[in-house]
Each structure stands twice: as C-alpha cells, then as structure tokens.
Amino acid sequence: MDKMIVHGGSLLQGEVTMSGSKNSALPILAATLLTREPCIIEHVPDLSDIHYMLTILNMLGSEVERASGIVKVRATHLRTEAPYDIVRKMRASVCILGPLLGREHAATVSLPGGCVIGDRPIDLHLRGFEELGATVQVKGGDIHLLASHLHGTTIHLRGKYGPTVLGTGNIMMAAVLAEGTTVIEGAATEPEVTDLAEVLIKMGARIHGSGTSRIIIEGVRELHGFRHTIIPDRIEAGTFLIAAAMAGKKVTLHRVIPQHLEALLHVLEEAGVPLKIKKESITITASPSLKALSIETLPFPGFATDLQAQLSAMLCTTQGVSTITEHVFPQRFMHLAELKRMGANIELDGARATIIGVDQLSGAPVMASDLRASAALVLAALRADGPTEINRVYHIDRGYEGIDRKLNKLGAKIQRIQE
C-alpha cells in the first residue's frame, strides 16, 4: 500500500495540463455496452477507477484495447452479470445497469462499493428503472433487473439532497432504447451528464435538454459506434487552482473549460486571488493574503461538493473565520479530523464547519479516508512546516492522474513510497 511524504514550504510555479474527466469517462465507457459496433474514446485518464471499469467491461464480454489515453471497446456479445469481487471496488460501476437493461433487458450487478463519504443510495436509479418497465429485486447483495420491454415515461430524479448525476446518466442510457418518449424531471445539470448525452447523440440517440433539469429522450431501435474526446476534469482543475492559491507563485493550467469552474473561480476571486482566464487556460498568481469565506456546496452550477475538502485545506491558513456548509453530502467531513492533527482550528456542527485560520500547519502522519479528502491532505501538506506522511493514497489514485508527478513538476517535494 503506497504512501506519500510531502515536504512543505515549496512554492508552486509553472504550467500543468489537466487530464480527462473521471466522472465523464466512467459512464461513457459504460455506454459502449449499448452497441455492437466499435467505440473509440480519447483522453481517458490513467486511474484505478478506469482500470476497474475496463475490467468490468471485459468480464461482460467486451473486447477492450487501451494505449496512450485511447480506449477502444467493442461489445459484440454480452453477459449480463457483474460479480461482487470487482464491482465492490468502485461505486460508479452501478452505471453499467442502464446500458445492460437498455440493450439486453436484463442485468444482475452487485451493490457497488466506493469511498465512504456518507449515505449515497441508488434508490433513485432503481425507481427510474421500474418506471421504465423493469422488475427490480435486490437479493443477496445483488441488484436484479428484468424487463420484457422498456417504455417511455416521466421520471422524477431529484432526491433529498438534489439531483443524482449517476442516476441521470443511468436512466438516459436505459431510455435511449426504450419505446416512446422518456422525460427526466429534476435531472442533474453537471457537464459530465452533458458529455454523456453528446456521446449518446453521436451513437444515434435522440436527446434534448441535456445541461438542464428537464431531459427529453425519444427512444430508437438501435445505436452505433462513436469516437469521442473526454472533457477535461473540472475537479482536478479545481484542486490545482486551490493548490496554487494556497502555495503558488504563478501557475497556469492548460486544457480547462472555465465555464465548468465558474463557482470556484468566483470563490477564489472573493478570497482575493488574482486570476487570468482564457478560453482553455487559467493562470493564478500569489496573493499576499487570502480573505475568509462563507461557502455552501450545491449541485452544479453551485460550488461542487467534490471541492469542499480542498477548499477546507486552504481556509485552514486563511486568516479570519470561514464557514463551509455541506448540502450535498452532509457527512462529508472526515478529512477535518486529519487536518486538526496538522494544527488546524476547526469546529464541526452537523453539516457546517467553522474554520479559524492559523498562521502555520505542522507536518504529521495522517490517513486518507476518501478520494477528495486525500487531495485535501496533500494540499494542506504543501503549506505545512516539515514533512507530512499521507497513508492510504490508493484513494487519490482513483481520481487524480499522477497528482504527485504534476505537483512535483510545479516545484513541490513529494515522495511516493511503496510498501
């Protein structure tokens, strides 16, 4: 199990290119199950989650080739069962349910695993499949779906804490081959949903309204292959922007889509961070002092919950009193205890964290609990006095392609140790 040793105190400077989006690539890889024709996907990031998804596709019968960020998939013949041993390692594996149900009208998939950031039920997915005409049974830790045929209907997908991104994608992938018209109300509006919709349209699907809370899908009889380039990872870009705001001199990010980062860019400007924004790049320069903030996480286009932990790390050394209220995953604060081990002054009351800025964090042994918490600990360590040992960094490899290598290129001092 790898760990990282981060030696704090270095200033970040230089240029770095963002990888393809993990949260876009996973459902798009799943969408290859909808056709027997070859599919080519470019700019696929090299992540453990991607590896697990390709393994699942292969186990289902797909032919998979991968080289230099390009993945080729051909699902000529399919099996409809995905076993626990591989599915348990990644929550996003649930997105194979929609395409299997759409193409084969049957699926048996183990309940998924993933990182522990609170309750993330898939009841909205299953309810949507039922409304499309499937029989749903959860037994022995497996989800069983069966349908004689699928029919269009109106499905409401907004849950207690907002829309479901994976659920929206899953229902879209099932509905594209259903009879008639399906309307998804309360759909997620994230860029990753729009990217998936663009792929499905390339395959011959008829989809209107992606990027809005109301998506209309007119079912077709069959779909064909596609070639597509994955959008840049907005969460990786956001993480590097926050790192540069905390410990940067001058950093330029290439291959970004600023429109996907508007909420974060507004927050950074509010904190006093100088930004230069171009069509596909963002340059951030050091600020003599950052201002305290009051932030609430919300579904897109609001401030992303996937950047909450990283922003928490920045606010630990921002003078004044800052607050973060988590509306999407109210229990997503496991990183705070580890930040406090490094000297942060944080009080947690339910879904609201109050962060009182300190002059300096101190390096300490810490434990990563989930993907974004891992990134937050790396960022905090960049500002800490002395070395920080971060354990369980396999979490960070799920969603960041070579984060240590990219930060080292900018001047950080990070060692990866294999144990």
**Kindly report the CA angle at 78 between 203 and 36, in degrees rounded to 5?**
30
Task: From the options 3.65.10.10, 2.40.10.220, 3.40.309.10, 3.40.50.450, give the CATH code of 22-229.
Answer: 3.65.10.10
Taking only the tens of pLDDT, the chain with its 419 residues reads 789 999 999 999 999 999 999 999 999 999 999 999 999 999 999 999 999 999 999 999 999 999 999 999 999 999 999 877 777 777 778 999 999 999 999 999 988 754 444 445 688 999 999 999 999 998 888 899 999 999 999 999 988 778 899 999 999 999 999 999 999 999 999 999 999 999 999 999 999 999 999 999 999 999 999 999 999 999 999 999 999 999 999 999 999 999 999 999 999 999 999 999 999 999 999 888 999 999 999 999 999 999 999 999 999 999 999 999 999 988 899 999 999 999 999 999 999 999 999 999 999 999 998 999 999 999 999 999 999 999 999 999 999 999 999 999 999 999 999 87
Nearest by Cα to 224 from 184, 166, 190, 176: 176
Catalytic residue, chosen from 39, 95, 115, 316, is 115
Alpha carbon dihedral 212, 282, 362, 408, in 10-degree steps, equals: 120
Query: Catalytic site residue 95?
Result: no
Q: Where are the alpha helices (DSSP H) in 1-96?
A: 22-31, 48-59, 84-87
β-bridge pairing 365-367 and 387-391: parallel
The pLDDT tens digits of the residues spanning 24-37 come to: 999 999 999 999 99
3-state secondary structure of 291: coil
Unique residue bearing structure tokens 């109106």: 154
3-18+232-417 has CATH 3.40.50.620 classification: no
Q: How many CB atoms lie within 10 A of CB 135?
A: 12
Per the omega criterion (within 30 degrees of 0), is the bond before 330 cis? no
How do the domains of the chain map onto residue ranges?
Answer: 3-18+232-417, 22-229
Do the domains 3-18+232-417 and 22-229 sit in the same CATH topology, yes or no?
Answer: yes
Q: Structure pTM? A: 0.95
For residues 377 and 368, give the distance between their C-alpha atoms in angstroms, rounded to a whole number: 7
